[in-house]
Amino acid sequence: ERVFAELLPRVWSLIEPAARANINLTIDAEECERLELSLDVMDALAARIARVYPQWGGFGLAVQSYLTTALAVVDEVAAMAHRHNLNFMVRLGPLQLHEHALVFQRAQEAGLPGYPVFTHKHHTDISYLACARALIDNHQVIYPQFASHNAGTIAAILQMAREQGAAFEFQRLHGMSEGIY
């Protein structure tokens, strides 16, 4: 509770100027140890945004598809958007080997019976596409932002978005996959 109480004013101090300037602000939900806290903070901030800056659609969350909770997080963000009558951005990120390895290592060191990350790349790929489908299915309240350099994933997202008439964007790291884009 103390961390929550300290965190809210700090994040609000970033939200307020971003909302006034109508620029985007994204919270990263990568750290699975703090996922519930991140969602609680986002929900509390969303309630305040709905009162103070209800037309601002620049508040968002970055979701990592290699986490086993990714699809549930997308569903929770969509429910939050509906609950507060807001639009959010969600940036869906793929497998990040460094972060994945750290989370996996921490879980092993803690002796957890399961892991908070997918242990096979093809499971992460499936998670990414499932999350992409959920984001596109909720395009009325979520503006999907897809980080990918995988041609098959890009093609699948294009097809899903066309079927729904959903607006979205692709994002990439500078210098990567220029030919695909």
- pLDDT tens digits along 116-151: 677 777 888 899 999 999 999 999 999 999 998 888
* Two structure tokens written together for 87: 């639009």
Flag residues of the chain having pLDDT under 50.
98, 100
pTM, two decimals, is 0.85
Residue 56 has a pLDDT of 96
Residue 116 has a pLDDT of 67
How far is Cα 75 from Cα 164, in angstroms, rounded to an integer? Answer: 17
Residue 87 has a pLDDT of 97
